[in-house]
Amino acid sequence: SAQIYGRSDRVVIDQEESLSSLLQYQAANESSVPSIEKIGKVCYLHKPIHISAQSTLRFEGKDCPELRLYPNSYIRIAGKAYFMDIKVTSADPLTKAPIQISRETHNKVRPHIYTDVPAEYVHIENSEFSYLGSFTGEKGSTWGVSFWHLKSGYVNNSKFHHNYFGIYTWETKNVT
């Protein structure tokens, strides 16, 4: 798709896309380093995703009931994002299981999701976010799910658990 740009370090979404269009993009560009792959009903995100301003990405369970992010991946939302009927969690590259942290292993890198200026809208419904965010000396804090300067949002019937800091907001307005 002309609205998805694969780079060596991330995937950029420009316009309106969905998880299924990301999977189609990956299939059409098999020779590139994978950005996303589907194994059974689980999608694994290998690279960060940047949703550009005035663009939208839909993460829907009908495309992938579960989205697992590898440690150095993240989702940056500068436009709009919809998370509907999906479970989003971290994934250890070796075990594929969620990355757990404890007092002894608190410095493990885990992926995160955040909004960034000029983020317009985030819609989260019937979804779950877990085992995201961490603190490392190199990267500092990545909260898990954080809304920075978000103009508006909607969260309904969703769970946030085992994240570094649950859900975090800063300079965010009109989230119900």
Can you tell me the distance from the alpha carbon of 141 to that of 53, in angstroms, rounded to the nearest whole number?
A: 24
* CA-angle at 121, arms to 119 and 124, nearest 5°: 125
Q: Which two tokens stand for residue 157?
A: 């019937």
pLDDT of residue 36: 92
Q: Which helix (H) or strand (E) holds 65?
A: none
pLDDT of residue 118: 95
Confidence of residue 140 (pLDDT cuts 50, 70, 90): low
- What's the chain's length in residues? 176
Confidence of residue 128 (pLDDT cuts 50, 70, 90): very high
pLDDT of residue 9: 87
Q: Which two tokens stand for residue 121?
A: 């809208």
- pLDDT per residue as tens digits for the range 53-106: 999 999 999 999 999 999 989 999 999 999 999 999 999 999 999 999 888 887
Q: Of 30 and 161, which is predicted with more confidence?
A: 161
Sorted by sequence, the CB contacts under 8 Å of residue 31 that are 6+ apart come out as none
Arithmetic mean of pLDDT, 3-23 = 89
Can you tell me the distance from the alpha carbon of 67 to that of 100, in angstroms, rounded to the nearest whole number?
A: 16
pLDDT of residue 141: 76
- Is pLDDT at 1 greater than 50 in this prediction? no
- pLDDT per residue as tens digits for the range 34-48: 799 999 999 999 999
- Is pLDDT at 138 greater than 90 in this prediction? no
Sorted by sequence, the CB contacts under 8 Å of residue 103 that are 6+ apart come out as none
pLDDT of residue 8: 83
- Is pLDDT at 139 greater than 70 in this prediction? no
